[in-house]
Structure 1
Amino acid sequence: MATNATRVSTFSTGSPNYAPLKRVGTHNGSFHCDEALGCFMIRLTDKFSNAEIVRSRDPQVLEGLDAVLDVGGVYDPSRDRYDHHQKGFDEVFGHGFSTKLSSAGLVYKHFGKEIIAKELQVDEGHPNVHRLFLSIYKSFMEAIDAVDNGINRYDTDKPPRYVNNTHLSSRVGRLNLDWIEPDQSPEKENEAFQRAMALAGTRSIVMECLAARQNIDPSGEIMVLTTFCPWKLHLFELEEELKIDPPVKYVLYQDDRSKHWRVQAVAVSPDSFESRKPLPSQWRGLRDDELSRVAGIPSCVFVHMSGFIGGNQSYEGALAMVKAALKLLAETMAALSLTTLTTTTSSLSTLKNPFAFAFNNTKFLKTQTFKTLTPLKSSSSTHSDRSPIDSTNTNTLTPTSTANPKSLKSRLRNGETLYGLFLLSFSPTFAEIAGLSGYDFVVVDMEHGPGGISDALSCLHALAATSTPAILRLPESSATWAKKALDLGPHGLMFPMIEGPKAAKKAVSYCRFPPRGLRGSAHTVVRASNYGIDEGYLSNYEDELLIMCQVESEEGAKHAEEIAAVDGVDCIQMGPLDLSASMGYLWDPGNKKVKDMMRVAEKAVLNTKGGTGGAYLGGFALPYDGPDDLRKRGYHMISGAVDVGLFRSAAVEDVKKFKMGLMMDGSDDEKEDSQDADEKYWSE
């Protein structure tokens, strides 16, 4: 692997000298992204390796230089003249691109393949070189050319002329000396241009390494920096701009001092200490031979106690470490079960619960009204708002078919978007906290949680105390489970794995008394009817009960519209994880094929709301598909988190902060070793 860092260039504004290095010229004065990037790139070539940069507009000075960029009014590759300002210049990149080139584009057109081949350490004729040559121009270089030439992205309502995946041009422009700077000397200006070259070049290095990541490992989750540079912010920006999925988990680079290779876990965000996939817990805190023995990989150097960084004496060893880490973490995830709450802390730190998406937005919080408990006076407090009971209610006990305006179904009919939580722990305390926090509903999950009917009842009591509607997710779609759940008086039932209209009709029948359905009758003594006190229960329960069918398989997605059209089905709950598993992408729920299938099913469900019937759309928020994304696509019931996931994330972060503090309190020698080992990380 190429490892030498690019040396800082020297600058000149005077007459040519006769230094042995090649000299590349560009104009002095205010600089722009195109010449900064062009100068950086041309110095990566064999011909102009580490060339001196001469900034001048003097024709005599420019004439004696080996190459000239962005000044001089000449485009002549045979003489290495790359200006684009002259009248009649209309050079484009070709290959179907029609944007006029800047000086950076000209350098890339003539030297791009050489630069890419050197970074990949392959011949220029390798097919990957040509593929990346075109890809990098489309996603990175073309915007630089267009901005410098003043080309708009849009013509009124026509599609954009080019993809702008970078704001690099404006960022480079801001490095020019401000007019209020007291020192406007050429030397000060050259210092600013030097920073501009570094900024433009750093992003291009990260871009090339990111584009080549699948040459390192088919997973695309490992990136190798062929030249070390401050990479973190660029990586996060490029992943967002290019919609990289899955994101990079590990970055490899060589330590210039020790020549050892570093393995760094990418953080979940630029300012976070939490890693996307920390190195395995069994490696953490070990060094040298002991680490090599435990990992089964020779020449290991260290792994940090928090798992965010490690090292190996060789590139091959470092690559073996991250590949082994990916494999170990995948095996750990497979072994973990969401129904187990006794997982060790080290295992928890590797578990990535897709539902644990904290969403803190006050516009989704409902107003909580706390009422005074008084003797029951009215049946108008139906099971959807049963406890506590409004002390001001003085209606008599008369049956009514009018749906409670506060019920989930009524709120959905009013066009509200409801935000909820999945309760996996069956903890009444967590249920009460969820209700007090303002969730519009809570799903008590009997499919994946450890509890049954009696455990669910305690959670329903806690939720009722906060006037929060409860939905019971059944472990299976059967008449027996539906009957037991309905007798508890939930506000809704969620039936899992519905794959066609026939199964949906059965689910509805389990919720209806004969002759319209199969539900067993004990309404005179069960909680659903306030133990028989609510005489209006039989008249109201169908209007109040929300029936949800989960579409969570490829077969179900194909029949989503038919399922949603079944009379009595109120909401289709999309299940992206089981859907991805049914399509063969268990470890990749964000796969494009899964997303495409989800979009087809979503549109099919939304189509059913065109008339008077049809079902609403519900679903889980995921890290790559957040609550706001779901809302914009037409979802009306959104579940943004799981209680276990929220607690896990908070607990792991709390322990991590404490242990990081212990590490900081070590001996002076330990502090010095830690500072030396991690200097590159913290300096970024």
Structure 2
Amino acid sequence: MLPLVGRGFKHTLPFVFPAYHHRLHLHLSRSLMAAATSPKRVGTHNGSFHCDEALGCFMIRLTDKFSNAEIVRTRDPQVLEVLDAVLDVGGVYDSSRDRYDHHQKGFEEVFGHGFKTKLSSAGLVYKHFGKEIIAKELQVDEGHLDVHRLFLAVYKSFMEAIDAVDNGINRYDTDQPPRYVNNTHLSSRVGRLNLDWIDPDQSSEKENEAFQRAMELAGSEFLSSVRFHAKSWLPARSIVMECLLARWSVDPSGEIMVLNRFCPWKLHLFELEEEMKIEPPIKYVLYQDDRSKHWRVQAVAVTPDRFESRKALASQWRGLRDEELSKETGIPGCVFVHMSGFIGGNQSYEGALAMAKGMRAFSHKPKHQPAAMATLTYPAAAAIRTTKSSLRKPFSIIPIKPNAISPLKPLNLTSKPATLSIKSTASSDHSSTATTTITTTTTTSSLTLKSRLQNGQTLYGLFLLSFSPTLAEIAGLSGYDFVVVDMEHGPGGIPEALSCLHALAATQTPAILRLPETSATWAKKALDLGPQGIMFPMIESSKAAKKAVSYCRFPPAGVRGSAHTVVRASNYGIDEGYLSNYEDQLLIMCQVESEEGVKHAEDIAAVDGVDCIQMGPLDLSASMGYLWDPANKKVRKMMEKAEKAVLGSDPKGGGAYLAGFAMPHDGPRDLGTRGYHMVSGAVDVGLFRSAAVEDVKRFKMSLMDGADDEREDEKDADEKYWSE
């Protein structure tokens, strides 16, 4: 029952909360019971109502503070003064007193976050309580990043229009009359619920009943918007971002994006392009039609609310279908091109991609000139590889060269004895000395990382950021060729790294330690642990590279401190051949991850003792001003420059091997295709995060689907009851 008070009389009218989510139902039920003894009272004006106060009253009752609140409809200042909250009346905006009116002189409050529309009472309530409502819907804390994203998205797509209509703000700055009248929006539909002037019953009871219906209508659409954004919009944003980052692997122009799973993409694309400063902008989006299984190539609009395309499909193709279209384009399998040129179709992905790529032939040609078929590039093959999304398991389509990488050879492990000779002096009553030889067997690899690279193998590894010995052990047992224990970005230091090295040693997996900084102290501590490789961050010159190498060499060749008789690197002094072999076995890696480093990549690779150059795509993109867009064309060109410099050197003749980290737009196989010798495919934390997020969202979506089924069952039961 929703208590409504109007014109000094209290009227209790039946009211049912829209069943928008069973979790929120449970929460509200508990809140209702807790507040049953002394409910709060929320005031708004009586008389004709609008969408903003109807929605505001609905939303504020979803909060903990005002759950089960009575709605008091009056304009009496004395009554309003003693109420717990007041909406859309009273001439005061003061959130500390829960006063949310917007009619007073000088009121210019806006939502913020780049929005400039003046708020209505509903907008004020949403601004102060929207995150709480959304957090309950998602069943997460208000500080969760998804709550903030939905908070902004729901305002942009739903709430801002309520504010604008109530404040009389037009969508466009123009003196021209509208071409048509739109009275179908929510504010109009709520307005039509007011009592008709010809209705003989104009009582406060009738008016309150109408206001209740207005609250139900506005509230149900608000909750539908929240649910849509939580269940559909947010997962779609993740998919679009992943595909946007992978655009360079689709086409070198960076202007074609492939959706690995169809979803609402248009608004996300425009927002992400702006947020990530994408350049050049996407011109075509490819996706597979779920029903026909054909592929669509859609030209991206100039703006979200306009029909004009950034670059429509060729006028010569428009209106043609099937064989006639294939003949005109020179591309097999064409299905259609729309008369406006905003969309076309092909039976295969390769054909749709060729149609998008083929638009280059029209870049500098007059409209009347037919397409030059010879200039259209039709890919011979494309590979579909499975990738893990943070929400689902879509597939990504990335053109690659067949058989570009030979299968990785398994690590050949053998056991060889390590001999320890101990010379002991006989007791005083013996004239001779006795030499006791103790033989111990340690399992070691006959092929180190360095020797495997020299044998031409391509190695695949993992970055360990968590410093978890358990995850390190799992990584080793999973078959990675190496694991990089990351002391630069991980939370651990030398003691934690040692535990990880113990776990990796148990699985006979080589470890590489990435240092937090390039210094003699960190290098000494790391090397004493006995990793097979050491990685120095942010090397920008040959001088810095020479210093890094010197930190790995004992005097006189370097400055490494000596404790080789007691540290783990030499099996605590048991390995007598350590000093003779450590230089041949240790892999020294220098990271090139800035513009300055790329300029000197060739010189760094040529430094004596530098075995491998590790590329750092994220820091490189940040140094170039593209922190949010590591796939930017300029960043890729800079990466190519560094790759060319390193691959142009001969590792066996004084050059260096090339190592890289896979990115969403540049997968492990892509790196291998370009000649990388060492490829790191993932980070342990990222793998766990993706699996965990997907698991939680799959479960929560199943609950939401179950709640929808429950609501349908409840609806059927209600209809059956009343029919009986």
TM tier, smaller? 0.3 to 0.5
Taking structure 2 as the reference length, the TM-score comes to: 0.44
Based on CA coordinates, which of the two structures has the bigger radius of gyration?
2
> Which has the larger share of strand?
2
What TM-score does the superposition give when structure 1 sets the normalisation length?
Answer: 0.47
